[in-house]
Amino acid sequence: MTNYPHPFFAREGWPFIAGSFAIAILVSIFASWTWSILFWIIAFFILQFFRDPPRIVPQISNAIVSPADGRIVAVENTHDPYLNRDAIKISVFMNIFNVHSNRSPVDGEVHNKWYFPGKFINASLPKASLENERNALWIKTNNDLDITCVQIAGLIAKRIVCHTKIGEHLTRGQRFGFIRFGSRVDVYLPLNTKIRVNIGDKVQATLSILAELTP
């Protein structure tokens, strides 16, 4: 899969952006500016939600970059339910004002992919990792290390988009998906990974380094 060409706004949002602005314009024409204010506010909110700015990939070969913009809500030793192993989990919670484009945390090949329907509870809660709708990728790095990256729907997120397929090679910072309107991304890492973030830290997709892999 290659990075899809697009302007500053993610292609997943183009229909929503076009539709919201069309409605705002029609209300302005056939009603009044007073009646249209709410529709313009909604249109500009949708516009900012789907922004997808370019990002520069850190030139550190063993870096694990953040797959999403947001706030770190978990850094813990736990069980990786997808690869059935002990692992370190780092969770990034995205609120409605964060960029929601998801990017690969590492260079590697997608060895497997799982989708699970589920609930839509607040994505900042720990139980969201196993109870909410989610899509998981098993990425094997070029150094043969296993990374699990999980897109998790949130309280008002109703659509997880994942463009990548099994067997495709991802590069760090490459866009692979999108979650609409509030969500979370979990990353499960090997136990000997050197962690670079703490709970409460704000991170940006691709720009922020979550951890460093050790051979």
Q: Measure CA of the first residue to CA of the last residue in the chain; give whole Å.
A: 27
- What is the rounded CA–CA span in Å between residue 134 and residue 152? 4
pLDDT attached to residue 157: 53
Architecture of domain 63-212: Distorted Sandwich (2.70)
pLDDT attached to residue 136: 94
- What is the rounded CA–CA span in Å between residue 49 and residue 88? 30
| CA distances from residue 150 to 18, 47, 144, 202, 215 in whole angstroms, order as listed | 29, 25, 19, 19, 23
Residues 193-215 have a mean pLDDT of 92
Q: Domain spans of the chain?
A: 11-49, 63-212
pLDDT digits (tens, 9 = 90+) for 123-158: 666 676 777 888 999 999 988 999 999 998 876 656
Tell me whether residue 183 is one of the annotated catalytic residues: yes
| Maximum average pLDDT range among 50-59, 150-159, 169-178, 188-197 | 188-197
pLDDT digits (tens, 9 = 90+) for 33-83: 788 888 888 888 888 778 888 888 888 888 999 999 999 999 999 999 999
Q: Which of 20, 101, 183, 208 is catalytic?
A: 183
